[in-house]
Amino acid sequence: MKVISGTNLEQAKSHNRRVVIESIRTNGPLSRAALARLTALTTQTVSNIVEELERAEILKAEAPQRIARGQPITPYSINPDGGYSIGLELERDHAVGLLTDLSGSVRARVERVVDRPTPADAMPILAAITDELQRSFSFDRARLLGVGIALPGRYATEGVTSLSPATLPGWQNFPVARELGKLLGVPVLVENDATAAAIGERLYGVARGLNSFVYLFLGGGIGAGMFLDGHLYRGSRSNAGEIGHMIVAPNGLPCICGKRGCLDRYVSLGSAYEYLNIREIELQAPHTLDALIEQQRSRIDEWAGAAAEAMRQTIDFLELAFDPQTIVLGGPMPPSLLQRLVSQLEPLHTPVNPGIERSLPRIVIGTTGRDTAILGAAALPIFSQTNPQFDVLQKPIGKKP
């Protein structure tokens, strides 16, 4: 049976609420009149929503502004202290937690070194990070909306991973959201790291306000987060964007997935480490890697040359398949390494429509740095409070729902 979901009044109301919040988040402080103009909602609807959100302390009134004629206007902004959220990230070699306020500002950060943890290893570490974050910043605990976690790799159903052993051992079918939620006593939302990073970049970074972009997450492996036509695109089994196992070099280097010549084997941090003959666990501080890169300049340039070749092919494919406004590069790959790679990317393959004038470059570097995925993870509970379906929030503003 085909299920088609309708829209009832309550859904429409919460959708409008999200549209108001998103408009202010994207544009900065706005008056009721400006909100009504931007959202195509009636002034009365906007007034009701603003009043409700102000009571809930999600919005706050700024100082009234005098205008030439008529009544002074009151702009409304997001109240940073209206809610807090914790974002966690678990990668093969590190776990990080951030406490953010409602505006996305980071109020506390905790990082731990890990070595390919199993769920049994990771759960207490993640709980300890959450604990430390809450102790290091004093705030009203009732306003903690929840915890979002970004994990590498594939997913089965909601909050249940089906991570391949290639990424982290022992995570097959582990119900992360349920288990971590039990341990922490707050709702936990799970997202793959590339999609979480795309959310972070869309909310706080270079992709703010963009309607279609692809985020290339360069970490231990490589994955794509896709934000297309105003929506996150996850695919039928939440595995869209697993491009690390796309073959870019037929009969190339063997991959743990069983194929040969996968993108992961040329572009990821893992492939760079392999090229430099270093073990991840030797790199507990970022400056150690920078020192190694400095020492092995010519090896790194060789790696970057091979990686750039595979990247050009990937960028060409993504542009042809999805026609994004731009492709954002980012993730935990150290900036020194990412810069080497990017410096060798040009010239990219000829685009399908070379004559067309672009408002954005074909590739841009993400601005929120290596914490992008965690910021995106932290954003998950914030929006699930007003919206159980994050991607609905992302409908382009200015259009009637």
Q: Which residues bind Zn ion (CB under 5 A)?
A: 245, 255, 257, 259, 262
Query: String of b and e for 367-391 (b: at least 16 CB within 10 Å)?
Result: ebebbbbbbbbbbbbbbbbbbebbe
State in angstroms the smallest separation of the CB of 259 from Zn ion. Answer: 5
Please identify, using beta-carbon distances, which residue of 25 and 154 lies nearer to Zn ion: 154
State in angstroms the smallest separation of the CB of 301 from Zn ion. Answer: 25
State in angstroms the smallest separation of the CB of 166 from Zn ion. Answer: 7
State in angstroms the smallest separation of the CB of 245 from Zn ion. Answer: 4
State in angstroms the smallest separation of the CB of 255 from Zn ion. Answer: 3
State in angstroms the smallest separation of the CB of 63 from Zn ion. Answer: 56
Please identify, using beta-carbon distances, which residue of 160 and 255 lies nearer to Zn ion: 255
State CA 89 to chain mean position distance: 11
Please identify, using beta-carbon distances, which residue of 48 and 172 lies nearer to Zn ion: 172
Q: Distance between CA 112 and CA 355 in Å, rounded?
A: 49
State in angstroms the smallest separation of the CB of 284 from Zn ion. Answer: 27
State in angstroms the smallest separation of the CB of 257 from Zn ion. Answer: 3
Please identify, using beta-carbon distances, which residue of 248 and 318 lies nearer to Zn ion: 248
State in angstroms the smallest separation of the CB of 221 from Zn ion. Answer: 9
